[in-house]
Amino acid sequence: MDCCGGMDEHDETCTEVKVKEGIDAGTVAAAKRLESENYSAGFVTDIEMEFAPKGLSESTVRFISAKKGEPEWLLEWRLDAYRRWLTMEEPVWARVNYPKIDYQAFYYYAAPKNAAKYKSIDEVPKEILDTYAKLGIPLREAEVLLGVEGAAETAATAREKPRIAVDAVFDSVSVATTFREELKKAGVIFMSISEAVHEYPDLVRKYLGTVVPATDNYFATLNTAVFSDGTFVYVPKGVRCPMELSTYFRMNAESTGQFERTLIIADEGAYVSYLEGCTAPMRDENQLHAAVVELVALDDAEIKYSTVQNWWPGDEDGKGGIYNFVTKRGDCRGARSKISWTQVETGSAITWKYPSCVLRGDDSVGEFYSIAVTNGRQQADTGTKMIHLGKRTKSRIISKGISAGKSDNTYRGLVSIHKKAEGARNFTQCDSLLIGDKCGAHTVPYIENRRADAQLEHEATTTKLSEDQLFYVRQRGIGEEQAVALLVNGFVRDVLQELPMEFAVEAQKLLEVSLEGSVG
Amino acid sequence: MSTALKDLIRNPTIAELELVARFAALKADARRERLFEAFAQTGLPGRRIEGWRWTDFKAAVTSLDALKAAPVRDPLAQAGVATLRFTPAGYTAPATLPAGLKLLAKDDVQAMGGAEEAPLGALAAALSGGKTPGTLLVDVSAGAPVHLHMVFEGPGAINSARIVFLLRPGAELHVSESHLGGAALSTALVEFTLNKGARLHRTVYQIGGAGEAQAVTAIIEQDAGAESVLTTLAFGAKVARLETRLVHRETGSKATINAAYLAGAGLQADITTHVRHGAPSCVTRQLTKGAVLDGGRGVFQGKFHVPRTSGQQTDASMQHNALLLEEGAEVFAKPELEILADDVQCAHGNTSGALDAAQLFYLRQRGIPLTQARAMLTEAFIAQALEGAGDLEDALRAEAQAWLNHAA
């Protein structure tokens, strides 16, 4: 692997890392804890699996569609995408290097045997339940409920330990979805997308592919052709989803690719917070993960999407690991809607991921908050796109990249203000920290402004006025970052601290990091 | 024309075929061929190429017919300063040159480092010769500061020129360049090698019409303790690219890279820089300011590259601030960092927006009309980027002022 972008060769014999003076020791320790030798989710679950024939062809697409008993329109959509994919070229612009992927070497469908969908949690094989338990994701509602309604429970601890509904995706299928009935009472639809295709075909058809079209990019088109499962969420008008929703993705089988598709719709005035977690066993081979996530927020709706991505990163020599090529996009379709992305990226050998917001509705808000830590030979090229189309749309980007070992960490972002985006506003801050002298940190921001009344600030303020505002807020004892949040988005938040406990283990550790001593 | 030559560029446009023909008409030379091949890899670069996504020469240069442009005044012309003049018709140099400066016009073409990264620079080098020298070498020796002025102007179809400067240890050169356009395509390549402790003051003025394409490529390499102060004022053209590629080769080298652009309707100005910190403890200070009117486009692309090990103790900062003076203006920016060394300081900042309403209000309540207030504030905003031009600062500021008053 060419981890320094072909500039200079690493000295292979040198293992000692000298850390520059001024870098917080806690940060170095936090990054160290994330090294692959400390990867705790790397075990394999031994369970009988059913595979699609290896490789990719029209018949693979038909096989997956048939497995799921899909309607004709969906099969056609998949086949169109597959045919288009054949004509497309894999993108090469990201600052990542990896050997050419042999798309015929993967299984595009792998499911635990007899697992069309387990009717009740009792039917889920013990091996799978154990797997999730081991990862700290309890699927049995009873256990979850016990945790919440235990005798010693006080109101305060109940607040600290909110209930979470989980959709567990094991390789290509969703094996369990908890709290479905309770959510249904609130009108919230939370189920796997394969089920939603049957139960709510009109909703799925209305929104699927409208944010990330089948033609969007190489990996999204591949996903469209072969997506196996994923989560579907619909929150009806005016409903605040009563609990956190989450999906836990687990890749288990060898030589498989995981291609999940998530679709979340928040109808007018709705609110939903959704989390996803990802892990995979340690293997010497590279596995492919090409997901698509589509979010739609209508008038006054808000979607909060958090990710703790901890796919197997490969060992310290760069052997194995997940190729994480993901297309995530949120469409703020309605006025005053809001979509916020939070990501804690610690895993994957290669990350290629740009969760984006299309700010279409007037006064809509987009946020991107990211911490990416790379170790060993990991390469991450991640960032966001904020497309301002509507009037008075606002966005905020905070990205912190920490590179250690022989890794490369790139922030790549686009802020685009279109002609009709009157009074749009963006603030971007991206900090990078290098731990040791064998890693790299890169920043590639694109800023396109087509509005005179837009205010765009990338680690700098445009006018004296903003400096004065900032000073005013800061002298009230509010930290700079929060002060910027106040001024740009009008409120303070710290997404990471809001992550539910189950997902917050890595995130909490990362909260200790400080970007003191950053290079740029 | 041989088929091999024709095939150099994939799907060539009419303008590109014309360039191939011009190349074919020049004296064959292996180095020239290599340079043209470097250009031919991209042809006229356009939006499909990452570094040219906002500055599309392929689309802008439709034909290479000679323009009939009226002569343009040269604000940097100074009495008593030796002037080199480059036009589509050829090149002229004064009979007497200042002490410490030697000119050497060579027939053959000299190799160019990094030709692939600068396709229009490679084109300038490949098309030099015939009426102009294949390579014009300028040798500057240590002693009193040497002053030189260069003018690039039309009329004509293609104006291409290449000048290679060598600043001997301890030499000091004050060079000013006026790129006045007048040709359908003007492309100039200016290379500077700064030996130990050499000092370069380079001031560039660029102006062009709404039917012209202009490219000015500068390649600067600096040895230990060398220092350069670069100042540019650009008014753009249909497409205008002012690209500077600078390498700090040895410890303690310093560079100040400032530029201002003012783009009116139908004009585009692109300031692109690439700085490589190839040695420890080098310093780069970069400031770009811009103001754009309705129908104009400003582009800023900056990149600091800090290699592993050799780039330690880099101290570099990049700042781009732009004003969109009217609706319909466009400003595109990409302030990029590529850092592979851990003990460095690299800052970058980018802002774009309108003039501060509070400042405008302040001036207006003092009885200054809106248009004048706008011009004053914009001039103040731009001025900082022109401060390094020394004796020529006033001339540049006067041009900026005239433009702003006219725009208002």
Please compute the mean of the pLDDT values over residues A273-282 and round it to a whole number.
78
User: Residue B330's pLDDT is what?
Assistant: 97
| Of the partner residues A442, A447, A452, the one whose CB lies closest to the CB of residue B350 | A447
Three-state secondary structure call for residue B307: coil
State the greatest distance between any 2 C-alpha atoms of chain A, in Å, as a whole number. 66
Q: How far apart are CA B215 and CA B161, in angstroms?
A: 11
Q: How far apart are CA A250 and CA A508, in angstroms?
A: 21
| Phi, psi dihedrals of residue B27, rounded to the nearest 5° | -60, 130
| Of the partner residues A93, A452, A457, the one whose CB lies closest to the CB of residue B326 | A452
Domain limits for position B184 = 3-353
Q: Is B331 on the interface with A (CB under 8 A)?
A: yes
Q: How far apart are CA A195 and CA A263, in angstroms?
A: 13
Which chain B residue lies closest to A516 (C-alpha atoms)?
Answer: B345
User: Residue B279's pLDDT is what?
Assistant: 96
Q: How far apart are CA A170 and CA A124, in angstroms?
A: 11
Structural domain contains residue B403: no
Three-state secondary structure call for residue A322: strand
pLDDT tens profile B147-182: 999 999 989 999 999 999 999 999 999 999 999 999
Q: How far apart are CA A126 and CA A115, in angstroms?
A: 13
Structural domain contains residue B13: yes
Taking the CA of residue B53 and the nearest CA in chain A, the distance in Å comes to: 11
CB contact under 8 Å between B359 and A464, yes or no, is yes
CB contact under 8 Å between B353 and A462, yes or no, is yes
Query: Which chain A residues have a beta carbon less than 8 Å from that of B324?
Result: 449, 451-452, 454
Taking 3-state DSSP, the helix, strand and coil percentages for chain B, each rounded to the nearest 5, stand at 25, 40, 35
Q: By the 8 A CB rule, do A164 and A170 touch?
A: no
CB contact under 8 Å between A452 and B337, yes or no, is no
User: Residue A14's pLDDT is what?
Assistant: 46
Which chain A residue lies closest to B358 (C-alpha atoms)?
Answer: A465
Task: Tell me which of A137 and A462 has the higher pLDDT.
Answer: A137
Please compute the mean of the pLDDT values over residues A99-115 and round it to a whole number.
82
- Of A371, A386, A383, A345, the closest CA to residue A489 belongs to A386
pLDDT of B77 > 90? The answer is yes
Q: How far apart are CA A444 and CA B50, in angstroms?
A: 12
Structural domain contains residue B398: no
| Of the partner residues A93, A438, A447, the one whose CB lies closest to the CB of residue B333 | A447
Structural domain contains residue B407: no
- Using alpha carbons, list the distances in angstroms from residue B337 to A65, A175, B334: 45, 44, 10
Q: Is A429 on the interface with B (CB under 8 A)?
A: no
Helical spans, DSSP H, in A161-279: 180-185, 193-199, 201-207, 218-226
Local confidence band at A512 (pLDDT 50, 70, 90 cut-offs): very low
Structural domain contains residue B366: no
Q: How far apart are CA B200 and CA B193, in angstroms?
A: 10
Q: By the 8 A CB rule, do A128 and A112 touch?
A: yes
- Using alpha carbons, list the distances in angstroms from residue A257 to A377, B259, B373: 21, 50, 62
Local confidence band at A249 (pLDDT 50, 70, 90 cut-offs): confident
Structure tokens at B227: 């220092």
Taking 3-state DSSP, the helix, strand and coil percentages for chain A, each rounded to the nearest 5, stand at 25, 30, 45
Q: Is A264 on the interface with B (CB under 8 A)?
A: no
| Of the partner residues B309, B310, B339, the one whose CB lies closest to the CB of residue A520 | B339
User: Residue A484's pLDDT is what?
Assistant: 65
Strands A189-192 and A244-250: unpaired
Structure tokens at A177: 């979805």
Q: How far apart are CA A465 and CA A126, in angstroms?
A: 62
Q: By the 8 A CB rule, do A313 and A1 touch?
A: no
Q: How far apart are CA B261 and CA B10, in angstroms?
A: 33
Rg (CA), chain B: 21
Q: How many residues does chain A have?
A: 520
Please compute the mean of the pLDDT values over residues A241-254 and round it to a whole number.
80
CB contact under 8 Å between A520 and B336, yes or no, is no
Taking the CA of residue A290 and the nearest CA in chain B, the distance in Å comes to: 25
Structural domain contains residue B371: no
| Of the partner residues A449, A451, A458, the one whose CB lies closest to the CB of residue B349 | A458
Taking the CA of residue B354 and the nearest CA in chain A, the distance in Å comes to: 5
Rg (CA), chain A: 22
Local confidence band at A487 (pLDDT 50, 70, 90 cut-offs): low
- Of B57, B31, B55, B35, the closest CA to residue B44 belongs to B57
Q: Is A255 on the interface with B (CB under 8 A)?
A: no
Beta bridge partners of B220: B192, B246
Please compute the mean of the pLDDT values over residues A203-213 and round it to a whole number.
95
Q: How many domains does chain B have?
A: 1
| Of the partner residues B339, B348, B351, the one whose CB lies closest to the CB of residue A434 | B339
Q: How far apart are CA B189 and CA B63, in angstroms?
A: 22
Strands A110-112 and A49-51: antiparallel
Single pTM value for the model? 0.88
Structural domain contains residue B377: no
CB contact under 8 Å between A459 and B348, yes or no, is yes
Structure tokens at A298: 């209508």
Please compute the mean of the pLDDT values over residues A10-31 and round it to a whole number.
63
Three-state secondary structure call for residue A330: strand
Beta bridge partners of A168: A176, A248
Which chain B residue lies closest to A463 (C-alpha atoms)?
Answer: B356
Q: How far apart are CA B342 and CA B244, in angstroms?
A: 26
| Phi, psi dihedrals of residue A506, rounded to the nearest 5° | -65, -40
pLDDT tens profile A114-157: 654 565 666 677 777 777 666 666 565 444 433 333 333 343 44
pLDDT tens profile A371-414: 888 888 999 999 999 999 999 999 999 888 888 888 999 999 99
Structural domain contains residue B361: no
pLDDT of B69 > 80? The answer is no
Query: Which chain B residues have a beta carbon less than 8 Å from that of A436?
Result: 342
pLDDT of A356 > 70? The answer is yes
- Using alpha carbons, list the distances in angstroms from residue B402 to A70, A281, B41, B213, B406: 69, 68, 41, 23, 6
